[in-house]
Amino acid sequence: MKFFAGIWWFADLWSHFTVQYAVILTVGIFALIAMGKKKTFGVIFPLWIFNIGQLAFVCWIPAAPPIAEPAGEPLRLVTFNVLTGNSNYAGVRKWLEDSDADVIGLLEISRTWKEELKPLSEKYPHIFFQPRMDNFGIGIMSRIPIENVEVIHFPPAAIPTLDIDFGDFRLLLTHPIPPMTGKRAEERDQQLAKVGEKVLSTEIPTLLAGDFKQTPWSPRFRKLLKETGLRNAASGQGLAPTWHIFPGFMGGVVIDHVLHTPGITVLERDVGPYLGSDHRPVVVDFLLPEN
């Protein structure tokens, strides 16, 4: 079904489980070899090669070098979908405080979360929150002064995206609607396309981050990279899932991303611990290009 992911929203959902397919097919291949099932092996082996190839392209092949020389001190960006109903306020606060982030992008921010995160304002004095009653509140906390924040409601879903200008660089933080119907999948794709257009509207080094509701193996995700020229900070950094259906490696997928313009140098991308949310924090250390 995943072969139709580029043209059918339901098939696109199945493209996200490429890691699981590869594991299952690997076990199946060894079982077929042990049983001497040569004909069945001949059918399964090309599928295994296809899935391993997709994994290798994203997870193990090193990222392309930046197109500009890096300068200055490394910066750390943390993005985290905290989950509106998550009550582990103290655990999240402690982890964020200890993360040594320069900028923290937060999703699913409610009024309660806004109040619970206030104790971090001493360390992160530059704050902008757009809380909501649904799951699409959004916010930013920063040690770096913020020059401007624009709240954009891209139609048709009109879910807020933050466009944050730090002067030397820019961060777009977004959280599209879950693609659980054909209409919602179209709205997700339209929002990401509009955010991509926003990236192309300036020459300032830019990061695009958030819960994309897409994995790197989705044709629609690859289309976003192709149309914007953005690079995936996770390239060559492994397979750690960022969202879990159930605990464990096999129960997770990678749908929380940090993308960046080619001049930015990514030093490391990591995934944080379980903190009560179905998502994990994403940590990216990067260098800005020399002016």
Mean of the pLDDT values across residues 93-104? 98
Q: Which pLDDT does position 5 carry in this prediction? A: 53
Cis peptide before 156 (omega within 30 of 0): yes
Question: In which element (H, E) is residue 110 found?
Answer: none
User: One-letter amino acid identity for 93?
Assistant: R
User: Which residues, including other chains, have CB under 8 Å from residue 280's CB and lie 6 or more apart?
Assistant: 80, 240, 241, 242, 243, 244, 256, 271, 272, 273, 274
Domain 70-289 = CATH 3.30.750.24: no
SS3 266: strand
**Lowest-confidence region among 183-187, 248-252, 284-288:** 248-252
Torsion sign over Cα 127, 128, 131, 137: negative
What is the total residue count of the chain?
A: 291
Domain ranges of the chain: 2-60, 70-289
Average pLDDT, integer, range 13-37 = 82
Residue 61, token pair as written in the block? 């092949």
Share of the chain above pLDDT 90, in %: 64
Block residue for tokens 């040690």: 143
- The first and second tokens of residue 178, run together, are 């879950």
Average pLDDT over residues 156-172: 95
- CA 277, distance to chain mean position in Å, is 15
Report d(CA 141, CA 124) in Å as an integer: 6
- What integer is the mean pLDDT of 266-270? 95
Select from 262, 215, 269 the least CA-distant residue to 243.
Answer: 215
Buried b (16+ CB within 10 A) or exposed e, 39-50: eebeebeeebee
Residue 131 in 3-state DSSP?
Answer: coil
Q: Could you tell me which residue, 249 or 137, shows the higher pLDDT?
A: 137
Report whether pLDDT(270) > 90: yes
